[in-house]
Amino acid sequence: MGRVLAIGLLLCSLLLLFNPSTSHPLCIDSRAPSTLSVPLKFCPYNETACCNSTEDSQIQKQFQTMNISNSGCASLLKSVLCARCDPFSGELFTVDSVIRPVPVLCNSTVSSNSSQSKAAVTDFCSTVWDTCQNVSILNSPFNPSLQGGPPAKTNASELTKLWQSKSAFCSAFGGASSDESVCFNGEPVTLNDSGIPIPPHGLCLEKIGNGSYLNMVAHPDGSNRAFFSTQAGKIWLATIPDDGSGGVMELDESSPFVDLTDEVHFDTGFGMMGMAFHPNFAQNGRFFASFNCDKVKWPGCTGRCSCNSDVDCDPSKLGSDNGAQPCQYQSVVAEYTANGTASQPSSATSARPTEVRRIFTMGLPFTAHHAGQILFGPEDGYLYFMMGDGGGVGDPYNFSQNKKSLLGKIMRLDVDNVPSAAEMDKLGLWGNYSIPKDNPFTEDPALRPEIWALGLRNPWRCSFDAENPSYFICADVGQDLHEEVDVITKGGNYGWRFYEGLYTYTPPKSLAGNTSTKPTDVIFPVMGYNHSEVNKKEGSASITGGYIYRSETDPCTYGRYLYGDLYAGAIWAGSEDPENSGNFSSSKIPFSCASDSPMACSSVPDSSLPALGYIFSFGEDNRKDMFVLASSGVYRVVRPSRCRYTCSKEKATAGATPGPTGLPKSHAWWLSHPSKNAVLMFSSLVLLLLSFV
């Protein structure tokens, strides 16, 4: 008997352990809430919301038509209607996959295991009933017909005429906050806040390689190898040494994996901008390169000009400021293969420099802002292609807001299903790819179906969070004032050229072309910095995006987004608090070079700080260790103690990656899927424990 009781107690403990709070900001239509540039006028939201100014106005009109004479009831009904704007409205209004007409009203008479602040778990449902029960409400949102019941006989109605009692009313509309839900108490939802995370004391780096690389991609086979590419057009396959081994990158400079320098146009703003290896590269040998070419120098550099009649732009007027031909320079994505160079693609150490297939080619209007990173989505397997606005001060043709243009966009392409030439011509595609069916603009033939997100100036380095792939984070280079970090969502509009980060932007000139009005659905950055905050070199600032750090090596940096500035040689660490809230804060983080670094770090004059030079990019290997790709070499983030930084978690978590609650990494998957896996886990635990009875 005691043995059974002990097992029961253990089982309860385990179930409690795997029941974290999962409430997170989400709108009713499953999109992420937007950051507001100005507060809403009617509904009480001034930072993030699921409504824009137009929707706020519509709610105000709906409220006015209700003609509520009692001021107390009117105040409560206003808050109920405005709950549609709450960043948590997706959970407030959705019960059992059904969207309700009003939010779940907090009801303290229902048992609660609350993830909300104590103030939220009040009997708000009773307050609504007591205040409004005898007040006439035109077109009442509490009509039983909206809950699946019989329709009311009149539009003008009091609660007492619609519902038999308070208990019946609150049974239909009330509920308590739980670990997987939130309820509405008349105020914007507030979750328990554990406090702003303490930033790490500093970032410790070791130098493991020379060379100036623009891209790093971990080998898809899961090994300790990674690909590095230069702007000039060469890709190398390197072996990454174990952390603390004292080793350096093993890379043969004289023997690149592939050399594409004959095709790549290399100049200050041009070159090989990205590379991506197919998720099944170890089996199929497919990989992709994104680069710029010059049609004057290479016959293979042919493609349609991005400035064309579709976007009301005359290509004959381009290039007048630099003597170039119209769309002389092109952005290209091409497919290559490692098949045939080894017994298996995973063991290949070289590849053919001959294109297998041209995925994409587009002529550029100017000589800057063409981004060019490519990467595969970790969950959908599609190729994401980052494209800048094409250059020119202030995006003079407003390409970024023009949904008929692919400039200033993030594209999402299916490179596994290539349509016929006739189909490509019919759809007006720019190469050999097809359109994923769930891309946001596939239903309107007047809009480019390749677009996943828009309103970007020059997205320079994007990444998916290794433990939460729904977080697709991009850094976007600013114009004169602000550098920004954005969380990219399907169909999201990030504001350029009407906004530069958080600030309204007025372009110095506009040429002929798209005259899109100022968007009302702008998603504002979650992090960033003004140019005045950095010690600028060459009179400029330019953000370099990084990764959410997910390595076990530095537990005090775990879960923070690391990014830098190209010119300033500075690094920032951003934190989200509470987790999954969308509320980020960031600050510069000091960094040092480990005294036992395998390669000596050159120092900033009159300082012990490592001289990184220009920070071109960041990288991540298969162990989730993070790397800085700088003009002075390749650096890896290592244990804080190697630079004498204090991290209380370093010894306590040795050998285990801390998850959101400090649990080993093996538990993180369960933590992110509690509602889906509770029954399965419960059953498995019961069977396991009963086997010991």
pLDDT, tens digit, 9 for 90 and up, residues 340-355: 889 999 999 999 999 9
629 contacts 227 by C-beta, under 8 angstroms: no
Supply the Cα-derived Rg of the chain in whole angstroms. 28
Of 485, 665, 465, nearest in space to 574 by CA:
485
* Strand, helix or coil for residue 166: helix
Tokens describing residue 281: 């590269």
Q: Quote the pLDDT of residue 608.
A: 66
Q: Where exactly are the structural domains of the chain? A: 24-175
Percent of the chain with pLDDT strictly greater than 90: 62
104 contacts 174 by C-beta, under 8 angstroms: yes
Q: Label residue 180 by pLDDT band (50, 70, 90).
A: low
* Residue 10 β-bridge partners: none
Beta strands in 27-130 (DSSP E): 34-35, 48-49, 94-95, 98-99, 105-106
Q: Quote the pLDDT of residue 115.
A: 56
> Which residue type occupies 607?
S
Q: Quote the pLDDT of residue 615.
A: 97
> Which residue type occupies 82?
C
b/e for 445-466, b at 16 or more Cβ within 10 A? Answer: eeebbbbbbbbbbbbbbbbbbb
pLDDT digits (tens, 9 = 90+) for 652-671: 444 433 333 333 333 333 33
pLDDT digits (tens, 9 = 90+) for 573-600: 999 988 888 899 999 999 999 999 999 9
What does the DSSP assignment read for 497-526? TTEETTEE---S---SS--PPPPSSBPPPS
Counts for the chain of helices (H) and strands (E), in that order: 12, 36
Q: Quote the pLDDT of residue 91.
A: 85
Q: Return mean pLDDT, the chain.
A: 85
What is the C-alpha separation between 508 and 394, in angstroms, rounded? 7
For residue 373, pLDDT over 90 is answered with: yes
Q: Please, where are the H alpha helices in 349-473?
A: 421-427
pLDDT digits (tens, 9 = 90+) for 546-575: 999 999 999 999 999 999 999 999 999 999
Q: Quote the pLDDT of residue 320.
A: 53
Percent of the chain with pLDDT strictly greater than 70: 82
The single-letter DSSP state of residue 618 is E
Q: Quote the pLDDT of residue 90.
A: 86
Overall average pLDDT of the 445-457 stretch:
95
Q: Quote the pLDDT of residue 357.
A: 97
Of 335, 341, 329, 330, nearest in space to 354 by CA:
335
Overall average pLDDT of the 22-48 stretch:
81
* Residue with more model confidence, 19 or 79: 79
> Which residue type occupies 50?
C
Q: Label residue 362 by pLDDT band (50, 70, 90).
A: very high
For residue 250, pLDDT over 80 is answered with: yes
Tokens describing residue 237: 């396959």
Q: Quote the pLDDT of residue 189.
A: 84
329 contacts 265 by C-beta, under 8 angstroms: yes
For residue 46, pLDDT over 60 is answered with: yes
Overall average pLDDT of the 105-119 stretch:
63
Tokens describing residue 157: 């109605």
* Residue 333 β-bridge partners: 290, 360
Tokens describing residue 653: 């978590």
How far, rounded to the nearest angstrom, does the alpha carbon of residue 163 sit from its chain's CA centroid? 45
* Residue with more model confidence, 439 or 38: 439
Helix (H) / strand (E) containing 204: strand 203-209
* Strand, helix or coil for residue 593: strand
Poorest-confidence range of 231-240, 280-289, 538-547?
538-547
The residue assigned the tokens 């670094």 is 597
Overall average pLDDT of the 357-379 stretch:
97
Q: Which residues contact 669 (CB under 8 A, 6 or more apart)?
A: none
For residue 693, pLDDT over 60 is answered with: no
